Chain A
């Protein structure tokens, strides 16, 4: 297994190299100039040129790439053109809100979706199964911003139970509760889609597992139906469920811009939008590299979890 982990980690290097080249070239070849944005509405062409020179944007592309990548190899993702801060600081600053939002959403979705999908699979065609279908369709169909605004209207404007917007760090004065209170509505709004997705996958996987011979054997041995369902069917159906959860986490880390915008959560999604609109090249490049690493790590963790879930799998 160690060889597998090592080889997967080594495979990250060419992936990151390709990602770094692609993102660097796309940004330089796409229309837009950070110097023009910096200079503002009343600047002249000469002022823009001065700023371009200061930022090193008049160098050839290989030289610019070389400067950037050599710094990255030394652990320096560079400085934001606009925010006058190291890119790594900006990413770290925005990571906590996004991670809080993503992990909370996934945990909530798992807690709701896996039992729901499992029970629905055990009672195919029953009331709960039909209810799950309705929830799934609704979850996929209703845009997250609609759900968000409805939740805000009910719980923040009408009932005044929860705040409309903002984020309180876990280490802030209010502690755990202040942190959670800010995130309850975003978690709810965002988890609906993931509940729908994970519940559907769970239902499909468990229902397939329930048709296997070992389930018949377990029942023939006189095992309680709950034990059959949880210990045998669900466990064997876990691989696709975990895969979907892993993809969900990766997508959430990669930016939930709409949710962050509706609830004014200062996460990586809103940072990405800001820096793309401003053409803040160093931050965009840093974010893309960060997302690439996150995807690789999450996929690796998912692959490793297969070992725990299915003893037949060997790396």
Chain B
């Protein structure tokens, strides 16, 4: 009797305790609050000072752009109302939409735009190219600015509507006057969300409020273009590093969207009740391997080609991504499915040809120098691919000196031009979002200016000449032709080896709809929550 009473009392106490502990279950699962887990910690808030994707994504919340790319890759006006080009194609006149206002209440003026463009072009590669064409900016009125060129330029709209880092975001002039090598100290934009600086805790969370004064365009949303309709009063970016904790938080309804869940969880997520997997960036990302063109044996094009022939993209996708449906072989240096991708890739097919690789090695006179291949062990998204590269290179007859380090060490080491045996390097691998490598002018590996170029320091005047022609070309057909020619030279000289394309889907709660398809940028407007 006593035992039965005791058991009943314990059971009753447990229920009371459970109710008390649980409190209002997920009291904040309000339909006006959206909780988003970004792929990385938001540390830097200046999208010009850094090229970090997480900072770019933050900036899309806060800042507006003059032009934007739509889902078909067309550049559409965003802050710009109308624009015109003079008959000699040397003067571009842009008129801003009326009523644009910064979050500090000040109107957006042409002076703000010009200061922002100047700062952006001091850091961005494509902005730098555009800058070489610009004679001067004029600001005839507060809502109109002119770009006067030295000669006609075919990339004005492409540059102003550039979707990925660095994006020409518009800031107030007083902030945009900060040199591009210094971080801005305030986050004031004119975009659809207002950044809550007082609630920002790096490594913890970033908070954005709906901008009630934002004037969305009337057109329907299409990627970054069109109307940016915000359906939440508050958006919280919640920093959760551990993929399992991200999964648990999504399953428990504590967050609404995880930008980049681990590939290992893809199949589980697809089968989890209350959760769905969406691919908001079909072009995805691409793995690449970069050669150091300065040092033997990779200062010999035959040896670089031998290494390229040894590479098979399927092995990289299978090892790093592990989900067959998320990867694809793409032999083009431009991501397949984007405007300039084509199959004019010479002998490189994305399928390993070890016999050819061995023949090229012999032809190139490879003397068995150890190849310093760097592996970033702490960067889970690319940590496995150097293991595949090592295996493929060794299978072709290379001797590999495999050096493991963290990403920060790799970044520092790849900047060294020293001989590989004295702290330099031969090879590293990385990944790029499609938006960054879909144009010859934005692809870092095509920076072939030798000592002043990208790490690897290829000196190939033909590529630079073709890129300059590309910048001048004023038709899509001409640009496509030039992009193809650039690719042919890139393949012939082995600027880098494309190692396969893959998608990285997001996971969202089932009650979320309207996530826009973009070239890799998670946009938090247009989304609804039931």
Contacts and interface: CB of A to CB of B under 8 A. Distances in A.
Partners in one complex: yes
Contacts of B248: 149, 152-153, 156-157, 164-165
A228 to B, nearest CB: 32
A41 B454 CA distance: 10
Nearest to B124: A42
Contacts of A153: 248
Contacts of B415: 33, 36, 45, 48
Given A45-B455, A166-B254, A274 B203 contact: yes
B92 interface: no
A32 B408 contact: yes
Contacts of A181: 21, 23
Interface string A15-51: 0000000000000001111101111111111111011
Contacts of B25: 160
A261 B246 CA distance: 11
B378 A36 contact: no
B432 interface: yes
A85 B202 contact: yes
Contacts of A163: 252, 254
A101 to B, nearest CB: 14
Contacts of B444: 41-42
Contacts of A84: 44-45, 183, 185
B240 A264 contact: yes
Contact of A40 (B51, B182, B238, B252): B51
Nearest to A162: B21
Interface string A92-124: 011000000000000000000000000000000
A161 interface: yes
B238 A42 contact: no
A83 B202 contact: yes
Interface residues of A, number: 56
A36 B425 CA distance: 16
Interface string A168-203: 000000000100010010000000000000000000
Interface in B422-474: 430, 432, 436, 444, 447, 451-455
B2 interface: no
A159 B17 CA distance: 12
Nearest to B123: A47
Contacts of B245: 152, 164-165, 261-264
A301 interface: no
Contacts of A94: 203
Contact of B408 (A37, A46, A50, A164): A37
A270 interface: yes
Interface string A52-78: 001000000000000000000000000
A278 B251 contact: no
Contact of A270 (B44, B123, B241): B241
A54 B46 CA distance: 16
A187 B412 CA distance: 39
Interface in B168-209: 181-183, 185, 201-204
Interface of A: 30-34, 36-48, 50-51, 54, 82-85, 90, 93-94, 149, 152-153, 156-157, 159-167, 177, 181, 184, 261-264, 266, 270-271, 274, 277-279
10 contacts: A38-B44, A42-B125, A42-B454, A45-B452, A47-B123, A54-B182, A160-B22, A161-B21, A164-B254, A277-B408
Given A42-B454, A149-B244, A266-B201, 18 more contacts: A32-B408, A36-B408, A37-B408, A38-B44, A39-B50, A40-B50, A42-B436, A44-B455, A45-B417, A83-B44, A84-B44, A152-B248, A160-B22, A261-B241, A262-B245, A266-B204, A277-B407, A278-B408
Q: Which 10 A/B pairs are nearest by Cβ-Cβ distance?
A: A40-B51, A33-B412, A36-B411, A266-B204, A31-B409, A32-B408, A42-B444, A164-B248, A264-B240, A82-B43
